[in-house]
Amino acid sequence: MSGLYMLLGTLVTLGILVTIHEYGHFWVARRCGVKVLRFSIGFGTPLVRWNDRHGTEFVLAMIPLGGYVKMLDERETQVSPAEQSQAFNRKTVGQRIAIVAAGPVANFALAFVLFWLLAMLGNQAVKPVVGSVVPDSLAHNAGLQSGQEILAVDGEAVTGWADVNLRLIQRVGDSGSLRVDVQTPGNTAASHYTLPLQDWLHGADAPDPIRELGVIPWRPQADPVVAQLDPEGPAQYAGIQLQDKIVALDQHPVSDWQEVVNYVQARPKAAVLFTVERAGQLKDISVILTAQDNYQGQRGYLGVGVAGGQWPEHMLREVRFGPLGAVVEGAQQTWTMSVLTLSSIKKMLFGQLSVKNLSGPISIAKVAGASAESGLRSFLGFMAYLSISLGVLNLLPIPVLDGGHLLFYLVELVRGRPLSERVQGYGMQIGIALVLCVMLLAVFNDLARL
């Protein structure tokens, strides 16, 4: 079933995003008087095709990994004198800029609409209450305490842990001060803490900002009963089974899942004796933990998951907006995620963020399937984030991409004449090489994650 969700989720996501992007080009081209020869979703052999009254051929092709809008252009084909006024190359620089920019703009518009819908649908957020603070961490040294609720990060209000994580991700690789506003139980006034950052999480492969700050979120107590097993994890290999209850680690009794997590993560590659209760019988199982890399070194990995505990009502918060309030929220989310995407690209270029965080088609397909399986809200949110990524990436000043064409047209606007065909040709070759390198790196990262 997960494979079906992955397939359908990927097809629906790419279909919608590509269609919206190309429709942006198409719609503005028509308004500027350009004759559109073909509007294609997908590449390769056409599966369905038809023509409208303007002579545009609409195509649904076999390979759904993109699309294109082919316009009448004297640089590509011979144009009759009667149709020269409808050729793309005959339009003013301003019109050409508008046509090229319309694709990415359409992606941002789609993201705004999706965020607007999500804001009206609402969601249930877990209050960002500190469960515990890791000794000698940034949070501990600044004075944060267990039981405090985080109200704002760097002056931006937060309603749940997702907001906290988003604000902290924006500071990855930075130096300076991080301000955290909290409310202590029994105190109505907010307290302010300043945490010094120095190349924080610089070059981290898979940063976990909340935990690396030294904050462990509060969560309800969960019994250490195995509900999930990584089929390739050390627990499965050692013989731990579903429904086993972990009662002791190296002869030390445990009663809560968090105790198991803390014990395991502190012992990468170590042999740990697990005492489990299975069908009323106690059984000792020796497990050799594996290791996972993180910013501070390595953490032990067991490959086990448990069922979550029941969240008390006072720890949950309903976040929902009316139609007008959702407009503001949608615009803010679109802007925030656009800036974050652009900032992440910059940090990768300067080494502040590891290029291992770059994801390719395999990761996109997996996330598309997981979000589709999780429900409508999750899937719409994923589409909004991916639409923003598509919009930002297409605006990068790399020839071949929309941003590269915009760069050429802006130069033409300043110079009063276009760059030579030779210069543009060299630019296209460089752009193709860059895009191919990035694509290969993304695919390599995907395979490495597998």
One-letter amino acid for residue 443 of the chain: V
Tell how strand 252-253 and strand 176-183 pair up. Answer: unpaired
Q: CB-based burial of residue 400 (10 Å sphere; 0-12 exposed, 13-18 middle, 19+ buried)?
A: middle
Q: CB-based burial of residue 142 (10 Å sphere; 0-12 exposed, 13-18 middle, 19+ buried)?
A: middle
Structure tokens at 365: 């397909």
Confirm if 115 and 384 have CB atoms less than 8 A apart. yes
C-alpha angle with apex 197: 195 to 199, nearest 5 degrees? 165
Confirm if 186 and 210 have CB atoms less than 8 A apart. no
CB within 8 Å of 363: residues ≥ 6 apart: 445, 446, 449
Inter-CA distances, 368 with 193, 252, 362, 445, Å: 38, 42, 10, 17
Residue 160 backbone phi and psi in degrees, to 5: -160, 180
CB within 8 Å of 58: residues ≥ 6 apart: 38, 39, 40, 49, 50, 51, 52
User: How many Å apart are CA 392 and CA 108, to the nearest integer?
Assistant: 9
Name the active-site residue from 22, 57, 313, 373.
22
Residue 22 annotated as catalytic: yes
User: How many Å apart are CA 158 and CA 143, to the nearest integer?
Assistant: 20
User: How many Å apart are CA 46 and CA 57, to the nearest integer?
Assistant: 11
Structure tokens at 220: 């309800």
Structure tokens at 361: 């088609």
User: How many Å apart are CA 84 and CA 75, to the nearest integer?
Assistant: 12
Q: What is the DSSP string of 344-412?
A: HHHHHHTTSS-GGG---HHHHHHHHHHHHHH-HHHHHHHHHHHHHHHHHHHTSS-TTSHHHHHHHHHHH
Confirm if 87 and 74 have CB atoms less than 8 A apart. yes
Positions marked catalytic? 22
